[in-house]
Amino acid sequence: MIKLCEFKLSASGKTFAYVYLLLFLVFIYAECLFAFQPGTISGSVTDKQSGEPIPGVHVYLSQTTIGSVSADDGTFSFDTKLDGQYMLVFSFIGYKTHMISVQLGGGGTIIFDIELEPEAIQMEAIEVRASNREWQQNFDEFRRHFLGSTQFSADTKIINPWIVDIERDEDGNLVASSFLPLYITNKALGYELHIDLVEFKWNRSGISGFYTYYSRFREMEPENNRQQRDWIRNRTEAYRGSFSHFLQSLYDNNLSKNRFETVFQNTTQRTQIERLTMLDMRRLAGYSPASGAETGEKLMGFRLHQPVDVLYRRRTQHGDSGTRSRLVPMNQSGIFMITENGQLYDPFSLRIDGAWSFERVANLLPDDYQND
């Protein structure tokens, strides 16, 4: 998953926020290949210079719990039932992270034989950071922006903070990167995260910035039944009312059932998001943002003629409460498409403001999370 976040102050002095969700961003250096599933993804990983196999490489579908680790002979294999477009990531200490965009669906097997390019690690810099006061202050700010400030943030920890390289650029902006994966534990939701941080930048005022990363989830083992119940409850709370929940509800035509309401900006006057017909979808075959991709029956298209607000009514033990978020179309047509598993097909087609923009890493759920 890749996420860009930005925060600004309005003329009235009130703070609002917006986030570009880049769920499937395909970098120009990533290879776009197609896999079929349910099925198997397998292959091998070797050193680009020596040709030797590399054991211990993390191979995973970003923003999911699905992946594997290469064996002693460099081979890997895992099954998946996912459907849609995902980024397959190859990550290992001492090598540049490698990404391949894959389209999952249909069943079958695909093989990837990957060569990783070695990358030098500056270990001496790591030893200095732990006792560096300026670095600690910068890291505290990085953590706040990266993990967020929700009810789950306090129980979310970066296990290896010393590997984060943080500094201020000439304009005073906070810039962070990491040449090793970040390991994060979220004891509120019961996940361990392997995160390959691509880029992080936040301006000196602290009200705008962006970050990009790839992530793999692993479910933690509960200490007891009570903790398992707490995780299930918290995951449900994190999902309900989230942007992912909204997209799935819109796809399934269940907005009202799931307590969502679309209204005109800054009002409670109801409006609707136009749902495209199959005839419209066929006409839009050439619109598809992924070069060479075809508009299939599992995609659902929608059109926004202007930004709309999304209200969510949350039930709590103390009564009902509500949140307001905003959808802003990012292309002239106002068209966006949603996959069957509730993901934006074109990550650049929408921008979100308001409550959803405050959902950071501490609130992340894997794309293969099932809310029963």
The pLDDT tens digits for 287-309 are 444 433 443 447 889 999 999 99
Phi-psi region of 338 (alpha: psi -120 to 50; beta: other; left: phi over 0): beta
pLDDT given at position 323: 92
- CA–CA distances in Å: residue 21 to residues 3, 106, 233, 359: 5, 26, 25, 11
Mean pLDDT over all residues of the chain?
82
The pLDDT tens digits for 306-355 are 999 999 997 765 556 789 999 999 989 999 999 877 888 877 789 888 88
Q: Are 67 and 61 in contact (CB under 8 A)?
A: yes
3-state secondary structure of 357: helix
Q: Which residue ranges make up each domain of the chain? A: 224-363
Q: What whole-number distance in Å separates Cα of residue 13 and Cα of residue 29? A: 41
- Residue 10 pLDDT more than 80? no
Residue in 362, 326, 345, 304 with CA at minimum distance from that of residue 18: 326
| Cβ neighbours for 254, distance < 8 A, ≥ 6 positions apart | none
- Angle value at C-alpha 303, between 22 and 240, nearest 5 degrees: 55
pLDDT given at position 335: 93
| Cβ neighbours for 154, distance < 8 A, ≥ 6 positions apart | 188
Q: Are 344 and 86 in contact (CB under 8 A)?
A: no
Token look-up 């009570």 returns 226
Q: What whole-number distance in Å separates Cα of residue 265 and Cα of residue 5? A: 21
Can you read off the two tokens belonging to residue 112?
Answer: 């990837």
Q: Are 240 and 234 in contact (CB under 8 A)?
A: no
Tell me the average pLDDT across 68-95. 91
Tell me the average pLDDT across 164-179. 90
pLDDT given at position 346: 78
pTM of this structure:
0.76
| Cβ neighbours for 276, distance < 8 A, ≥ 6 positions apart | 284, 300, 301, 302, 303, 335
